[in-house]
A and B are shown apart, each in its own frame.
Chain A
């Protein structure tokens, strides 16, 4: 190619394609959003319910004095974890931070509820344990 075409090619490369309308990005965001999860309030109400269930199970186990202390321990030990679930219910970019060594970074907070379900295969009793958890990640960024 001659110089003039190379110059034209360079000029074309310098043109930036127009950004898509914000509405298009919003549509993509809606499609890529995680499937709807139960609202956080539901999860928070589930925590005391799970705790109540746990207490009830413990009390039920103590209604009659066990003939053998080892039996109660065996019953507790009979619970096995059967399911674990991690639900992300909020994520927020908390903005830029500067680390001790001067590195620029962004702090991203993700809020989860972790739920573990336990079951006793002999009695079919189950126990659900839910705990909220915040995960904070500091992601280094570079400005160019």
Chain B
């Protein structure tokens, strides 16, 4: 497997991790604009100060994203300014995924079903599937036990299946 950690070109890291980081950031922020701010701050912080740390880059980057999301949430004034646009943003429903044209309908259905999951289930699912973190790493991120992370994941998949079946029946 390629040892990506030795690559000195930040843009290649960004191409590789950016889409997944943005998806993770969207779980912890109120708008796409906030998620982008968070990814920017987290990535720059990681690249400047944490790249030499031992550990898997994606796990460290997710930690950095989560911390930046919390920092942003604490900056109440900024949040208030964005409040209105956040609603607009949600309504706009920027797709979180890309799919081939023939799979577009299915992508939209999956995305809608994901949005209906509980926040707790969705964040575990996103970290596991697209963040490619282990249950131990997810547990450390969310300060829960690995067993809880694993069960939330299974419940999330089950709920998603149910949602998609409903969509299929009604669609």
- A: residues with CB less than 8 A from B are 1, 4-5, 8-9, 11-13, 15-21, 24-25, 27-29, 31-32
User: Which residue on chain A has the smallest CB distance to residue B24?
Assistant: A17
**CA distance in complex: A130, B151 (Å):** 64
Residues of B participating in the A interface, judged by any CB pair closer than 8 Å: 10-11, 14-15, 18-20, 22-23, 36, 39-40, 43-44, 47-48, 94-99, 106-107, 110, 125, 129-130, 154, 157-158, 160-161, 164
Residues of A within 8 A of B130 (CB): 15, 17
Among B39, B95, B157, B158, the one with the most A-chain Cβ atoms within 10 Å of its Cβ is: B157
Q: How far is the CA of A18 from the CA of B26 in the complex (A)?
A: 12
Within 8 Å by CB of B36, from A1, A9, A12, A24, lies A24
The secondary-structure label for the interface of chain A is helix
Are A1 and B157 in contact, with the CB atoms below 8 A?
A: yes
Given A25-B18, A32-B44, A17-B23 contact (CB < 8 Å): yes
**Min CB distance, A109 to chain B, in Å?**
15
Which residue in B44, B95, B110, B161 is a CB contact (below 8 Å) of A4?
B161
Query: Would you list the 9 A-B pairs with minimal beta carbon distance, nearest first?
Result: A17-B19, A17-B23, A15-B97, A31-B44, A20-B18, A24-B36, A12-B129, A20-B22, A19-B19
